Every structure is written in C-alpha cells, then in structure tokens.
Structure 1
C-alpha cells in the first residue's frame, strides 16, 4: 500500500522515550484513493511516537463497502528500505509486483514484501476485479529494515496458513515473530512480533510478552481495556519494554485487536512518501529514479524498481519534494 498524501512530510523515526503506563495514540484519517477515496486511519507515524519496535507505519481500514467506495485500487508505486505487512479481516486484495508475483490475499493469510534497495507493486480490490466481495477490512504495516539489510534484494512471500493458539479463551493468530510458543514462518529482519487477537465478550487474557520488546495494541472492534486503561476502537495503545505480561479485558461485546512489538529500533530513519532511508540525498535519489522508472525510461530507475505487469493503468508519480532540505524534526 502506498501513502497517497499529496504533500507528505518527512518523518524522522527514532525509538521514543519509554514512558510509564499505557500511552494512547489517536488515529488520523487519510484518503487512500479509489474513485471515491477510501479512507484509512493512520496511527504510526504520529506526533507522539514514530516507531514501535521496527514498525514505522500502521494503516487500519474498513469495514468498507466497496460498491460505494470503489474499493482499493492502488497503481504501481515504489518502496525502499522496508517490509510491507498486509493482512485482512474481510475481503480480498490482489498484489502484483516487479518480481512477477501475482497473489490474492484473504483473511487469515499474510502478504509480506521486502523492498530492500527498491521494488514497485500494485494492490487492488475493486468490484470489477472481485464482484462477489462486498467489504474490505484490514491493516497494513511497514517495518523499517536495519541498515545491514536495507540495501539487499527485493523479495515477496505469501503465507497461506499462520499459526494459531487458544490463550485464556482468546484466539491468537501469530502473523510475524513468535508469541506464547507459536512462531510464524514469515521472515523478519529485527526481533519483533505481530498477531491478531480475538477475545470473546467478558474475556480476561494474560498475554505473555518478551520483556525486551515495546508493544502496541490496535483495537479494531469492541471494548478493550489494556493494562487497566480503556482503548477506543481504531486507537493504538503503547506500552514500554520491561513487561513480561499484558492483561487484556474485553467488554460486553467480542473484541478484535492487533498486537505489534519489537526491541526498540536503535537506528534513526528518514521516511518520506514510500521511501525509508537515512539521508536527504538518499530520498531525493530514490524519487528521481522512480520518476524515470514510472515514465518507462531505460536506465538505473527501471533497474532499481522494475515494472509491474498486468495492472491496467499507469504507475503513480511521486509527489513534489518540499523546497527545503529533508531534515530531522523534533518530537
């Protein structure tokens, strides 16, 4: 998924202060695109916090009536220096990328794309493509790649079956990393965890944690209390490292939530549009090479990002860079 903001601001992401208790991060609405602009709720990066472990981007969308919104139709666009982590609660999305991958994803599955030095891809869930699918609902995350891995080759993997377990009556599906003895086969480049949590009404779940990790819990639906603090739907809660357990309490209705976490990311990253780099010069060069590739011009841009086959439409051009140097911004 791309960031379709026309004037994206640079985000300098660093591990934040540990803080105390449970911190709440309010979502902001961002138009994703499509004929009638499907809206997503973004909680990372935020003014409060730019990273949770290596996770630098959290988008939460739906439930969206694709007959009204037009669904997801994101033309080929580039990424550098990150992994895109896509999973659904409802619907179906078709992923195509410059490696030649063409993969539909359904609820309970994972699409994981490693950008490395550079790749481009498209994502679609439209009534014309999937006429039987009525609703789209899910999340997309980005993880920042460590410096040792961010210049490597691009890759894509689809995990059709993710490990699940029962924990205090809740269903836990481990998407990345490991949790409570269950491990995802998906490749990760930093110590991390991502999981879907489905709690029945009234459940009290004691979730075992890696004490080295900071964690976030995104509430999709229902009433959830995290370590004694109520988290509204679509909000992201944050807890610092040092806990070996997190108590989750469901209210009068079932709860669906997403857990993310990892060791605090000890590298400062510069994120602008769909590029995760380290310096102004890197981002400017990536944008210039993508513009060349999007225009179909032979050269280093096409060699770096490639071309998506099978998508009916032109690639997305990059937004205009600000007329000032991309630089770290204070918290």
Structure 2
C-alpha cells in the first residue's frame, strides 16, 4: 500500500504502560475512501519495533460491486514490504514483472532494495461482485549493508507457512523462529512475525526478542493486568516470560526482532541515509524508476 502523505507518522493516543508494557499505541482511523486504515508505526514516540518501521491495519471493509482497492504504481527503496490478509484478495504487480494474487494466509515479501515500483489492485472477478478486505501491511527495514541489494519478489502460499497449536492457541509463524518452529520466509535481520487466534481465557507466552510488540486486530488482551484494547499495539520491555491473556476472542499479530539503527522515512521511501531519500524523490519525479509491466499508464505523483 502506498503512503498517502510525505510524513508517514500518524497521530495516535499513547499510553504509558507498566514495567513489562512500555507503551500502548492506539492509532486513529484514517478513511481512505470506502475503508479505514489504522497506522501504529511509525509514531512520534515509537519509530520502529525491531526491523519493523511501518504497520498498517486495513479494514475490515465491505466493498460494493465495482469498488475496491485500486492503488496506482508507486516506488519504494531500501526496505521490504510484507502483506498478509485475513480476508479478501489483492492483485500485486511490480516492475520486476511479478503478477501475483495474494489471498488469506499467503504472505507476500517484496524487497525494494535499490528500487522497485508496484501496484495493488483487484482482479475483475473480485471487483465485479460485493467483497470484503481485511489485512495487515508492514515495512521491514533492511540492514545497512543490504539496503541497495537487487530488488526481488517472494510469494509464500498459506500451505508453506508453519501452523501449530500452542497451549490450545492456533498460530502461524510467518517470519522468523518461535514456539519451536521456523518460517521458510527469507530474513535479512533477526525478525519475528507471528499471527494467533485466541479464545477468551486462553494464554500465550510472548516469544523472547530484543524488541517486540503485539497488535490486537480483533478482541482485547491483558498483559500483567494491563488491558490491550482492540486496534492497539503494546510495545514490550525486554523481559522474559510475559504472558498474554485473551479477554475475549482475539486475533493478534506479534512482531519484533533485533534493534536497528536510525531510519529516515518520507512518503514511500525509507533509508538509513537522508540523501538516498532525496535521490529517490528526484528519480521518481524525473521518471527514472522502471515501469510496472501491465500497469504502465498510471502512477502516484510525489506529494508536494
């Protein structure tokens, strides 16, 4: 998904937590014309969690026939984007020639590296009938030595991602290693991304990572008797044995990994170097990025 403004930091309600919970971030809904997006990263008080620099929750949205997601081609540099859907379908195209429908349970990993352009639309079969969309989109920073790597695209079908049950909780390890299993998804730095579906009263021990957070896409949780409400992100201290308890039926995402150095973000560009972002802006304005095969006629201009 393209960021719509030059400054991606969103206004959020920030609550100070207990010793285990450093912050609770409650993003405000942003209407993108027919559906809502909630952005928890970056914010003024928390730029990143591990290598994760951007976290958007889109939907759930109901679209009438003829309406839906229609994101024109736009560029990225020096990051990887991750898309994971709970419901619906998005058609991904990029300047490498990739053409891939992503469906619930699949994971798309697009490595921008030195530069890539992509669009997110819908197949006519989806758009021509009433449909729903609900999912998460994240940006993953690359280590400084890999920021200018060659662009790449990886698609992991749902069947290839480990699905296990821990203490009665069904979960999927999407990136990294947790709960005794390891995801096949390519990593560039130590990274954690887990999705879980908990019932009221169930508990789950939070995996140990240098940095970690939990986002509640549906329901609500408790950690050390502190409530983590629906559509909020709890950022945790580096303390072992933290237990999550579902107050009600809850769908959650656990993210984290190793702490990364400072990153600059403007529009859809993220880099450890401000001058790289300026170069990318000028390259986009001058039309020096590659085109998206099959989607060459439109593009999103650089916000002024």
TM-score, length basis structure 2: 0.90
| Aligned counterpart, 2:99 | 102
Ranges of 4+ aligned residues in structure 1 off by more than 6 Å: none
| Aligned counterpart, 1:24 | 24
C-alpha contact (below 8 Å) 2:66/2:128 kept by paired residues = no
Given the alignment of the two structures, is residue 247 of structure 1 paired with residue 243 of structure 2, yes or no?
yes
| Aligned counterpart, 2:293 | 309
Q: Distance in 1 between matches of 2:135 and 2:228?
A: 18
User: Which stretches in structure 2 are left out of the alignment for 5+ residues?
Assistant: 11-16
Q: Distance in 1 between matches of 2:204 and 2:246?
A: 8
| Aligned counterpart, 1:283 | 277
Q: Distance in 2 between matches of 1:232 and 1:201?
A: 14
Cα drift, residue 38 of structure 1: 3.0
User: Which stretches in structure 1 are left out of the alignment for 5+ residues?
Assistant: 12-17, 294-300, 321-331
| Aligned counterpart, 1:176 | 175
Cα drift, residue 225 of structure 1: 1.2
Q: How does 1:149-298 map to 2 (within 5 A)?
A: 149-160=146-157, 161=159, 162-207=161-206, 209-210=207-208, 212-243=209-240, 245-251=241-247, 253-265=248-260, 267-293=261-287
Task: Give a deviation string over 1:157-204, Cα, whole Å, max 9, x none.
Answer: 000021011011111111111111111111111101101111122212
Q: 1:4 to 1:37 in 2, by over 3 A?
A: farther
Residue 137 of structure 2 aligns to a residue whose secondary structure is: strand
Q: Distance in 2 between matches of 1:175 and 1:41?
A: 21
Q: Distance in 2 between matches of 1:95 and 1:309?
A: 11
Q: Distance in 2 between matches of 1:112 and 1:157?
A: 5
Given the alignment of the two structures, is residue 117 of structure 1 paired with residue 114 of structure 2, yes or no?
yes
Q: Distance in 2 between matches of 1:129 and 1:59?
A: 22
Q: 1:110 to 1:19 in 2, by over 3 A?
A: same
Q: Distance in 2 between matches of 1:134 and 1:51?
A: 33
Q: Distance in 1 between matches of 2:65 and 2:210?
A: 41
Q: How does 1:83-102 map to 2 (within 5 A)?
A: 83-102=80-99
Q: 1:111 to 1:133 in 2, by over 3 A?
A: farther
TM-score, length basis structure 1: 0.83
Q: Distance in 2 between matches of 1:227 and 1:101?
A: 45
C-alpha contact (below 8 Å) 1:91/1:133 kept by paired residues = no
C-alpha contact (below 8 Å) 2:65/2:127 kept by paired residues = no
Task: Give a deviation string over 1:244-270, Cα, whole Å, max 9, x none.
Answer: x3311112x3110000001111x1111
Q: 1:126 to 1:72 in 2, by over 3 A?
A: farther
Instruction: Name the count of aligned residue pairs.
Output: 295
Cα drift, residue 26 of structure 1: 1.4
